[in-house]
Amino acid sequence: MRTILCFRIWPAAMVLICLIVLCGRAEATPVAATLSPESAQVTEVSRLSVRMEGGGEGRAVLILPGPAKPESLKIFPVEDPALKISSLSWRALTDKGSAVNDAKRKQHRSLTAERNRLAAEIKGLEARIAFWQSQTKAKTRSLNDAVNLSAVISRNTKKAWQEKMTLEEEREELDQRIATLQAEMKNPREAAKADWEVSLSLLGLKPESRSIILRYSYTLSDCGWKPLYRLEANPGQERVSFSWEAEVWQNSPHDWAGVELSLATHPEGTPTVPDKAPEWRIGVEKTGARQASKKTEKTEAAGTPMRNPVAPFFRFLGTRSVPAGQKVVLPVESANWPAVFTRILKPFSGRNAEMRAVITLPSPVTIPENPALFLRDGVLLGRREFGFSGREKSLLFGSCPDVQAEINMLSEPGNAPAFDANKQVWDWRWQTVVKNEGGKLLKVRVEEPVPQIRDRRITFAMTGEPGYPEEKAEMGVRELELPPGTGRTLETFLHIAAPRDLNVEMSWTP
């Protein structure tokens, strides 16, 4: 009788011991998270047991997951504003109690069970295939029966093979995930990610306090997000359709169920040392080697790129759920931006035009830079970098073969310049024939090089029909509107003159 009683009492005692242990490690509830590209700021709420020490003082223990940074911990009492935290300290728990590794072991068991289920289904399909293949030796009474049997064997064998190949692909993917998880579990660095035990010294406790509710936040690594963009040009509707999704992931011990989720970035290249103010020196101009050295310094300084930091980004997505150990794609924004489409022609570089869309928005936006899919009227053009900060953005949407340009050179200088009195001269004259072979009225921008003079003794005159709207520009630009099926011929005249004895070098000529 005593033996039977002991067997009945022992399970109940074990359950009681487990409950006591679990009460010592309160389960935290994530309520908010702000994801950065490689980390997250997580906010949790937890009820902690208090060990009273008298005089309104006491202690409590808070458990943080292994990937957390305990030095980033910020704590906010929820129930009693008079409660103060006088000090805190932390230590790493042993790997055996790590919630991160417990979660990975649980995930490993789940993946292994799924793989075993797939293996059993594949075995069943192999038996089904073998059965139908054995029916090819079956005897039939007539030719018609043989044809019908052959069709049934072919149909069922094909179906079984298709199902088997699909399941084998799923099994290979599971094998890879299991192997990756096993490698992470065996990795010493991963195994070292034990939970953190944070000891809190409390002041202002009420005598009847047995537990407290705390709201706290900390930085969590092994989390992140990246933007997924899609831009489609719709010239007929004069708009660019923009869609933005975010691929998010988190590898904490808990699923984030119904948390207030936000996305954020920080400007890259933030200087840790302030820039020096430029030195304004006034002195006598040097000659020879000192002058050459000064010229070199100026050239190097001019070649130093200036930093153009990206503005920080923050976007609240609302209440979302993100399972642990998985990547989830969440919608962020979609919009139809009004755009002005222009065909850009550079006839000295190529015949076909490029389509450019200039987007102007009523209010500024901040969209982090990342690769985006570019489409035009449903046709994929490729993947390019995209980012938007401000109100206006210019985008290119590939070649436009409906608009073409051709150069007809009417006159040009020979290998040597002509001489006029004490000057050497060069003269060009050409026609740019622009055609719109499409079915719509189009805006066309023709860009042609303009000489950039580096010596004041060299002069030039560049005229055209129609004329150039800007003088001394780096590029000759003429804006046109071409009705469908029409063309236009542009005339250009260029005259360059220099002293007879000046050695003139040209990097390019028409």
In terms of DSSP bridges, do strands 423-436 and 256-265 run parallel, antiparallel, or are they unpaired? unpaired
Q: In this predicted structure, what is the pLDDT of residue 195?
A: 86
Domain positions in the chain: 18-93+196-218, 100-191, 401-499
Strand partners, 316: 262
Q: Which residues of the chain have pLDDT under 50?
A: 1-25, 96-97, 188-189, 191-192, 267-273, 275, 277, 282-310
Q: In this predicted structure, what is the pLDDT of residue 27?
A: 64
Within 8 A by CB and 6+ apart from 407, the residues are 347, 348, 430, 431, 432, 433, 510
Q: Residue 273 in contact with residue 327, Cβ under 8 Å?
A: no
Rounded CA-CA distance 111/131 in Å is 30
- 401-499: CATH topology is Immunoglobulin-like (2.60.40)
**Sign of the four-CA dihedral 65, 66, 68, 73:** positive
Q: In this predicted structure, what is the pLDDT of residue 285?
A: 43
428-456 residue pLDDT tens:
999 999 999 988 999 999 999 888 888 88
199-219 residue pLDDT tens:
999 998 888 888 899 999 999
Rounded CA-CA distance 159/129 in Å is 9
Question: By three-state DSSP, how is residue 214 classified?
Answer: strand
Q: In this predicted structure, what is the pLDDT of residue 486?
A: 94
Within 8 A by CB and 6+ apart from 415, the residues are none
Q: What SS3 string covers 272-314?
A: CCCCCCCCCCCCCCCCHHHHHHHHHHHHHHHHCCCCCCCCCEE
Q: What SS3 string covers 256-275?
A: EEEEEEEEEECCCCCCCCCC
Q: Residue 373 in contact with residue 230, Cβ under 8 Å?
A: yes
For the question of whether the overall pTM of this predicted structure is more than 0.75, the answer is no
In terms of DSSP bridges, do strands 459-465 and 326-345 run parallel, antiparallel, or are they unpaired? unpaired
Q: In this predicted structure, what is the pLDDT of residue 240?
A: 97
Q: In this predicted structure, what is the pLDDT of residue 82?
A: 84
Q: Kindly report the CA angle at 200 between 194 and 206, in degrees rounded to 5?
A: 145
Q: In this predicted structure, what is the pLDDT of residue 470?
A: 62
Q: Kindly report the CA angle at 144 between 142 and 148, in degrees rounded to 5?
A: 120
Q: Which tokens belong to 143?
A: 């030719």
